[in-house]
């Protein structure tokens, strides 16, 4: 009769207790096939840097095919471009026109957040999307300046050079953009994109929310500054409320997204026209005033490659690259290769820095509109870019009369979408520590600065990792009645402990950072249990079973901790039994000869085995 059972004997000591009627199948704790040092290093290296196997598709291909695949992998446009047709173009054209109409007013407004002239926003939305269209692999993402990065850049740059109208300020902006690009390219090419994972999702939610509030408050001040001009203000506040109502509508009803997408443009056109007709600028309404016509001038010679501002440029660039990288990762499609995208974004910013652009990345709001407007490929970015080109060449001077207040309202409407209260509530529900990180970043940004917010976010994220590696969980296991399944007695209060035995599971690799803690914690479980059991009629504990299944690895500190544990247990007359050590662990136990100290006959395949061998008669039934 084929029976379902866990009654496997390690080829160990003779069977002392147990039910001899059942047939026994002998399985012993196996050592894995030996690996050479080179294989070992190669495996670790591949898992660390090439876990996504980017070269897998190159295997077993001819040289010319490899070349084509290589070209396609650097420029995905050669891949999807071959199958491109008129139907796709129709979708892309509409989407491209939509995001262009959304991005023009946003660009002008965002450039002001970075303390740059409006033209630089438009420049950025002309060059960056073109580069991305060739190298990027996402079809939805709309490229251009974004509010948070513009604010971050503006803060960092003006800390260095307070005169934001000076040529040095502009040069430093290009320098920072250049080094942001270089940083992104380096991270991508060295396949270190995973490093940005260290900024947790929670931290980013808080950081973005804080930045949004800061920007909104800043802009609100601008809006309130013109309250003397009642008629104008009314027009603006009406437009603003219409606009934000439309935005909310768009959220509830996807068909209304059009309203949200084009309302900023309509606001700009209507208000500009009003100001032009009524000459309100002469009555004190602040307007854009200066705006140059023409395409991007070259700016490669403006980048600081030496001098005092070089290090400042590098520092700001690296900070911006980290912020971009993480926000981009949060929005990217899950099938995208993060490292390749980093290279694309980096190239885009390097080229941008040489053509009078400042830092660009994927925009949350415009990407959503792009998707909803039915974009099929990155061609929508090309369409947007062409519209921007025409705008720069033909109609830029018309924006001269655009009132600043309407730009402020556009910014407010855009950034309020970055405040993700739902996400914050979810964080609270799921993980209090995440919520703390989120709030830390949020208040850091709101009450101090974007840099401090970013710093707090990184610090809390790291603290969480440190906590994870220094204080892993250990649990006491008990037996579920009528089975040989051993489970956490806190989760399964009905699980029964075995008389004379304590079963502890260690839920982490044992490394220098936690080895002492784990050893102390196991001893504390033992002490606590002994106190508990002396008051009852249970026999005292003679065996400590450590369930090692989750212990993926152990290092020299861990081995030393086990030696110490053995010594302490000897003093207490308790024997150590191990259950199910993994392949790496069993190898290291052998290499360090500690398996001899423990005794090969004390290492079992399962907890059930250990209980059957050393436990009271019938305990494992």
Q: Is 617 in the site for a second copy (CB under 8 A)?
A: no
- Ranges within 503-532 binding a second copy (CB under 8 A): 507-509, 511-517, 519-521, 524
Of the listed pieces 197-205, 215-223, 282-290, 373-381, which binds a second copy according to CB under 8 A? 197-205
Size of the site for a second copy (CB under 8 A): 104
Q: Is 572 in the site for a second copy (CB under 8 A)?
A: no
Instruction: Give the tokens for residue 139.
Output: 């079809």
Of the listed pieces 97-105, 115-123, 377-385, 425-433, which binds a second copy according to CB under 8 A? 425-433
Minimum CB distance to a second copy smaller for 283 or for 590: 590
Q: Is 36 in the site for a second copy (CB under 8 A)?
A: no
Of the listed pieces 123-131, 223-231, 272-280, 550-558, which binds a second copy according to CB under 8 A? 550-558
Helices 404-416 and 147-160, packing angle to 10 deg: 120
Give the contact letters, 592-611, x = binds to a second copy (CB under 8 A), - = no.
Answer: x------------xx-x---
Q: Is 534 in the site for a second copy (CB under 8 A)?
A: no
Residue 252 C-beta: closest distance to a second copy, Å: 20
Query: In 3D, which of 395, 433, 462 has the Cα closest to residue 198?
Result: 462
Minimum CB distance to a second copy smaller for 260 or for 551: 551
Torsion of CA 379, 380, 382, 386, to 10 degrees: 140
- Adjacent-strand bridge partners of 363: 142
Torsion of CA 98, 100, 105, 110, to 10 degrees: 120
Minimum CB distance to a second copy smaller for 157 or for 503: 503
Give the contact letters, 320-349, x = binds to a second copy (CB under 8 A), - = no.
Answer: ---------x----xx--x-----------
Residue 585 C-beta: closest distance to a second copy, Å: 10
Helix, strand, coil % over all residues of the chain, rounded to 5: 65, 5, 30
- Ranges within 264-283 binding a second copy (CB under 8 A): none
Of the listed pieces 18-26, 85-93, 221-229, 311-319, which binds a second copy according to CB under 8 A? 18-26
Residue 621 C-beta: closest distance to a second copy, Å: 5
Specify the pairing of strand 501-506 against strand 486-488: unpaired
Q: Is 60 in the site for a second copy (CB under 8 A)?
A: no
Q: Please enumerate in sequence order all residues whose Cβ is within 8 A of that of 289, keeping only pairs 6 or more positions apart, or say none.
A: 400
Among 431, 451, 600, 601, binds a second copy (CB under 8 A): 431
Distance CA 309, CA 592 (A): 54
Of the listed pieces 153-161, 356-364, 372-380, 467-475, which binds a second copy according to CB under 8 A? 467-475
Q: Please enumerate in sequence order all residues whose Cβ is within 8 A of that of 7, keeping only pairs 6 or more positions apart, or say none.
A: 18, 22, 24, 484, 608, 609, 612, 620
Distance CA 362, CA 209 (A): 17
Residue with tokens 């070209």: 71
Distance CA 405, CA 226 (A): 8
Give the contact letters, 232-271, x = binds to a second copy (CB under 8 A), - = no.
Answer: ----------------------------------------
Among 270, 300, 490, 532, binds a second copy (CB under 8 A): 490
- Ranges within 382-421 binding a second copy (CB under 8 A): none
Among 31, 166, 231, 534, binds a second copy (CB under 8 A): 31
What backbone torsions phi and psi does residue 234 show, to the nearest 5 degrees? Answer: -65, -45
Nearest-Å Rg of the Cα atoms of the chain is 32
Of the listed pieces 166-174, 182-190, 440-448, 586-594, which binds a second copy according to CB under 8 A? 586-594
Cα–Cα distances in angstroms (integers) from residue 39 to residues 36, 45, 52, in the given order:
5, 10, 18
Length of the chain: 621
Among 432, 534, 616, 617, binds a second copy (CB under 8 A): 432
What backbone torsions phi and psi does residue 454 show, to the nearest 5 degrees? Answer: -65, -40
Q: Is 483 helix (H, G, I), strand (E, B) or coil?
A: coil
Among 11, 48, 253, 311, binds a second copy (CB under 8 A): 48
Q: Please enumerate in sequence order all residues whose Cβ is within 8 A of that of 132, keeping only pairs 6 or more positions apart, or say none.
A: 141, 143, 344, 345, 348, 378, 381
Residue 477 C-beta: closest distance to a second copy, Å: 11
Among 42, 52, 297, 532, binds a second copy (CB under 8 A): 52
Minimum CB distance to a second copy smaller for 413 or for 607: 607
What backbone torsions phi and psi does residue 119 show, to the nearest 5 degrees? Answer: -55, -35
Q: Is 579 helix (H, G, I), strand (E, B) or coil?
A: strand
Q: Is 32 in the site for a second copy (CB under 8 A)?
A: yes
Minimum CB distance to a second copy smaller for 47 or for 537: 47
Residue with tokens 């209060």: 493
Among 385, 404, 409, 461, binds a second copy (CB under 8 A): 461
Among 13, 430, 532, 540, binds a second copy (CB under 8 A): 430
Minimum CB distance to a second copy smaller for 157 or for 576: 576
Distance of CA 93 to the CA centre of its chain: 32
Q: Is 616 in the site for a second copy (CB under 8 A)?
A: no
Among 538, 550, 597, 601, binds a second copy (CB under 8 A): 550
Distance CA 280, CA 273 (A): 10
Distance CA 435, CA 430 (A): 9
């Amino acid at each position: 009769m084929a029976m379902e059972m866990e009654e496997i004997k390690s080829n160990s000591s003779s069977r002392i207790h147990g039910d001899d009627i059942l047939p026994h199948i002998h399985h012993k704790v196996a050592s894995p096939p030996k690996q050479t040092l080179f294989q070992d290093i190669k495996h670790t290296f591949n898992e660390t840097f090439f876990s996504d196997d980017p070269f897998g598709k190159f295997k077993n291909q001819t040289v010319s095919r490899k070349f084509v695949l290589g070209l396609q992998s650097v420029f995905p446009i050669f891949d999807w471009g071959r199958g491109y047709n008129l139907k796709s173009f129709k979708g892309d054209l509409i989407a491209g026109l939509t995001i262009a109409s959304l991005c023009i007013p946003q660009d002008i407004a965002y450039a002001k957040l970075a303390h740059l002239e409006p033209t630089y926003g438009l420049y950025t939305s002309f060059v960056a999307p073109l580069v991305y269209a060739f190298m990027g692999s996402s079809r939805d993402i709309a490229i251009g300046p974004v509010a948070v990065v513009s604010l971050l850049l503006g803060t960092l740059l003006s800390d260095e050079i307070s005169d934001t109208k000076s040529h040095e300020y502009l040069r430093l902006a290009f320098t920072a953009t250049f080094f942001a690009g270089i940083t992104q390219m380096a991270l991508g090419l060295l396949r270190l994109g995973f490093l940005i994972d260290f900024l947790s999702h929670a931290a980013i939610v808080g950081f973005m929310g804080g930045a949004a509030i800061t920007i909104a408050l800043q802009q609100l001040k601008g809006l309130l500054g013109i309250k003397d001009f009642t008629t104008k203000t009314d027009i603006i506040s009406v437009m603003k409320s219409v606009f934000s109502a439309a935005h909310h509508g768009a959220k509830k009803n996807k068909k209304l997204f059009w309203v949200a997408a084009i309302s900023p443009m309509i606001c700009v056109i209507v208000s500009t026209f009003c100001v032009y007709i009524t000459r309100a600028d002469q009555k004190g309404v602040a307007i854009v005033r200066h705006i140059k016509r023409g395409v991007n001038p070259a700016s490669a010679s403006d980048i600081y490659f030496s001098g005092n501002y070089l290090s400042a440029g590098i520092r700001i660039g690296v900070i911006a690259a980290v912020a971009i990288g993480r926000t981009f990762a949060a929005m990217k499609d899950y099938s995208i290769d993060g490292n390749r995208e980093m290279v694309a974004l980096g190239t885009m910013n390097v080229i941008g820095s040489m053509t009078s652009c400042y830092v660009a990345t994927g925009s949350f709001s415009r990407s959503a509109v792009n998707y909803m407007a039915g974009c099929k490929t990155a061609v929508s970015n090309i369409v947007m870019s062409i519209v921007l080109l025409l705008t720069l060449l033909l109609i830029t001077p018309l924006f001269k009369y655009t009132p600043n207040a309407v730009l402020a309202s556009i910014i407010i409407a855009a950034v309020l979408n970055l405040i993700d209260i739902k996400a914050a509530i979810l964080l609270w529900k799921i993980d209090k520590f995440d919520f703390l990180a989120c709030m830390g970043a949020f208040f850091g940004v709101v009450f101090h600065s974007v840099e401090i917010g970013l710093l707090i976010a990184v610090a809390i994220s790291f603290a969480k990792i440190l906590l994870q590696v220094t204080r892993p969980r250990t649990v006491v296991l008990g037996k579920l009645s009528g089975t040989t399944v051993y489970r956490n007695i806190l989760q399964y209060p009905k699980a029964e402990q075995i008389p004379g035995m304590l079963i502890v599971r260690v839920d982490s690799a044992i490394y220098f950072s936690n080895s002492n803690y784990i050893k102390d914690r196991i001893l504390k479980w033992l002490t606590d249990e002994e106190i508990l059991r002396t008051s009852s009629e249970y026999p005292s504990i003679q065996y400590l079973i450590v369930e090692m299944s989750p212990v993926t690895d152990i290092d020299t500190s861990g081995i030393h901790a086990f030696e110490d544990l053995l010594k302490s247990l000897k003093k207490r007359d308790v024997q150590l039994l191990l259950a199910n050590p993994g392949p790496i662990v069993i190898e290291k136990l052998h290499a360090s000869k500690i398996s001899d100290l423990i005794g090969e006959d004390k290492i079992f395949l399962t907890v059930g085995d250990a209980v059957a061998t050393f436990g009271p008669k019938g305990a494992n039934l």
